[in-house]
A and B are shown apart, each in its own frame.
Chain A
Amino acid sequence: MAQRAAQTRRETLIAGMASFAAAAIAPSLAFADAAAVEAEIKKLYGDKKAEAGRIKLDVPQIAENGLVVPINVEVESPMTAADHVKSVHVFADGNPLPGIVSYKFTPESGRAAASARMRLAQTQNIICIAEMADGKLFTAKSEVKVTIGGCGG
């Protein structure tokens, strides 16, 4: 290893800088931003404003592994015919594509809760939007740090 001067991808990974190196090596990949997420939401709901509250968005503050980041979403609702959660959409503003996952619910769902694993390319915001039976929108946002790690202790 000492004799080789040229940098291989494997060596870069060994250096302990996987995430940043991946971002630096693939400059052709375009990443989404806050505007791209807003555009996606606009496609779904037009100019309707979402308010904060009701959504419990559970994501780690620092991802243990950017390739599989757990996400749990729960929206507070009685889940009756008149008052229930219709859908929940999850977006990320720093991945190549902003969409992460979308869920549909009915009163029969009982609870508006779901879990998934997502892949995050870099530190970014996770944005969640919930549509209620009466058309009201709620939103929540949380940043997840994706770090190279190491040096702890």
Chain B
Amino acid sequence: MVSRREFIQAGLAGSAMLAGSGLGSIGRLAAQQRLSEAELLRFEPLGNVTLIHVTDLHAQLVPVYFREPSINLGVGEAKGLVPHITGKDFLAHYNIPAGSPMAYALTSEDFAALARNYGRMGGFDRIARVIKSIRAERGDRCLLLDGGDTWTNSWTSLQTKAADVVEAMNLLKPDAMTGHWEFTLGAERVKEITDSLDFPFLAQNVRESEFEDRVFEPQKMFERGGVKVAVIGQAYPYTGIANPRWMFPKWTFSLKDDDVQKEVDAARAAGAQVVVLLSHNGFDIDRKMAGRVKGIDVILTAHTHDALPETVQVGTTLLVATGSHGKFVSRLDLDVDKGGVKGFRYRLIPIFSDAITPDAEMAALVKKVRAPFEADLGRVLGKTDGLLYRRGNFQGTFDDVFTDAMLQVRDAEIALSPGVRWGASLIPGQDITFEDVTNACAMTYPNCYRISMKGSQIKAVLEDIGDNIFNPDPYAQGGGDMVRLGGLTFTIDPYQTSGRRISDLRLARNGQALDAGRDYTVAGWASINQGTEGPPIWDVVSTYLQQKKVITPRPLDAVKVVGAG
């Protein structure tokens, strides 16, 4: 349903875009008037249980721009299904008007122009306001659940070993959480934090590798609105592969339907009327799991950063996808009786930072934890002429900055940058600060190595990572997006089988084919191996930006995608 007001808004956004920055401020004023807090929070309550879901905040305490992907291919059974629909197709699928607030929040369409109108999204103080407001309305019916990737990937969280985010989260008073990047703080620090929390860190699939003892509680039973709700935690099952295992050497992670089924059965045996899987599997794994494990009412998905304005239903299981970087809070009202879930109502609440009043208590806390680092965070390194972003299956414009920086500063022929899905965007004309750089690379294994690799090894690495992204079986996917490359162009057919996806590898500087037997100097960062040497990547990128001063994004033509599956 499209209201006339939304059409007017869409028109305004369009004209702002065409007329350039001169009309941008008028568009923005209109946008802010339309985006009232009451409107964003409007929800006709239903039933006796309210699940509130936040996930993949990536330690972003303050609002950010975050462009959703324009390419997010689905393979196997997921081909053509949400969340593998992007841009105009996504808008058409959900009947969202182009240029509307939700079009800005959920897609990459006209992102730079709409960002001027609708502003940044997220921020812990706005999230706190929304959660407090839902709690005020729903009282003891609420469960606040955090899907993980909460504690890491900002400069302040790296410097405080997540103390800043943990303090902020404690103020939100979650009922439970699970995790993934949290583990990159190292086993000792994770245990130190989880032992101090007033709520459980749930992970049924993390065990001591030797005797398979549990490391965390697998599930917890809550009573909300007179209803027994079991929450089962599922940490990212491939943490030990995707991230440095040496940081948590005694812990093993698993992806086993049977183990999840056992937890569901135990919850039902203990009287659960609602069973929730607080999952960090990633959407496609969760969709498959929903069809194989019986008796889960709700899967709160995470990891793959998908934001969907409606739930996805598999049998009787509802899948919720809340997005990332604090852009959204999910509210799912459930009507439950003795026989189970009878009805539901869902809203993906967009956190427009200009429209939602900051919660004063949280705003003060965020200010306090950032204060010691403000000078570093605000340090301007350069400026961008165009939109800088990372998210998408293949190289984004911000990735080009990282790979160019490595080629130049580390004097390499080829650069590799990981396809992580986090990292905020920058809009045209924005200063690039140290905070902006670290939002895209703050991690505990940042060393920018410089090594020699044979052409054949580079090809093998690309094939291996390609199979992690595009294996048709989601249980065989390792997560993330395709590795980003500098100095090299290639063709990829995502629908091919393992070892046959990558072809036509060429050096960008002269168009010469990559020689399988020749050694190339390669720079990269985020190696999962212990003892990696080299300066932290933020120093490399900072040096480059200070030399370059102004970034003008170039067309993204290094990766050619072919094949139709």
Contact = CB atoms under 8 A, between A and B. Distances in A.
A77 interface: no
Nearest to A56: B258
Interface in A1-60: 1-2, 5-7, 11-18, 20-21, 24, 58, 60
Contacts of A16: 461, 524, 527-529
Nearest to B465: A151
A64 B420 CA distance: 19
A61 interface: yes
B338 to A, nearest CB: 35
Nearest to A1: B533
A142 B243 CA distance: 25
A21 B461 CA distance: 9
A49 to B, nearest CB: 28
Contacts of B456: 24
B252 A62 contact: no
A100 to B, nearest CB: 19
User: Do most interface residues of chain A lie in helix, strand or loop, or is the interface mixed?
Assistant: loop
Contact of A153 (B254, B420, B460, B461): B420
Interface residues of A, number: 34
A148 interface: yes
Interface string B282-316: 00000000000000000000010000000000000
Contacts of A150: 242-243, 418, 465, 526-528
Contacts of A110: none
B475 interface: yes
Given A14-B527, A15-B522, A152-B478, A147 B468 contact: yes
A15 B255 contact: no
A149 interface: yes
Contact of A61 (B236, B421, B476, B529): B476
A5 B449 CA distance: 13
Contacts, number: 139
Contact of B240 (A12, A13, A64, A123): A64
Given A1-B534, A2-B450, A14-B533, A151 B242 contact: yes
A65 interface: yes
Given A7-B451, A151-B478, A65 B240 contact: yes
A63 B253 CA distance: 10
B323 interface: no
Given A14-B532, A16-B529, A123-B498, A152 B479 contact: yes
Interface residues of B, number: 62
A17 B449 contact: no
A148 B466 CA distance: 11
Contacts of A141: none
B523 to A, nearest CB: 9
A64 B252 contact: yes
B460 A152 contact: no
Contacts of A153: 149, 180-181, 242-243, 303, 418, 420-422, 479-480
A14 B104 CA distance: 41
B452 A148 contact: no
Contact of B238 (A18, A58, A62, A143): A62
B419 A14 contact: no
A145 interface: yes
Contacts of B533: 1, 14
A11 B452 contact: yes
B241 A152 contact: yes
Specify which of A7, A13, A64, A123 lies most central, judged by the most chain B CB atoms within 10 Å of its CB.
A64
Given A13-B529, A60-B254, A62-B238, A149 B478 contact: yes
Nearest to A23: B460
A6 B449 CA distance: 14
B507 interface: no
A25 to B, nearest CB: 9
Contacts of A58: 256, 258
Contacts of B258: 58
Contacts of A21: 457
B461 A17 contact: yes
Nearest to B149: A153
Nearest to B450: A2
A152 B527 contact: no
Interface in B508-558: 519, 521-522, 524, 526-529, 531-534
21 contacts: A1-B449, A2-B534, A6-B452, A7-B453, A14-B527, A14-B532, A15-B524, A16-B528, A17-B464, A58-B258, A64-B238, A64-B253, A68-B209, A145-B467, A149-B242, A150-B243, A151-B526, A152-B180, A152-B479, A153-B303, A153-B422
Interface of A: 1-2, 5-7, 11-18, 20-21, 24, 58, 60-65, 68, 123, 143, 145, 147-153
> Which 7 A-B residue pairings sit nearest by Cβ, starting from the closest?
A152-B242, A64-B240, A7-B452, A149-B241, A152-B479, A151-B418, A16-B527
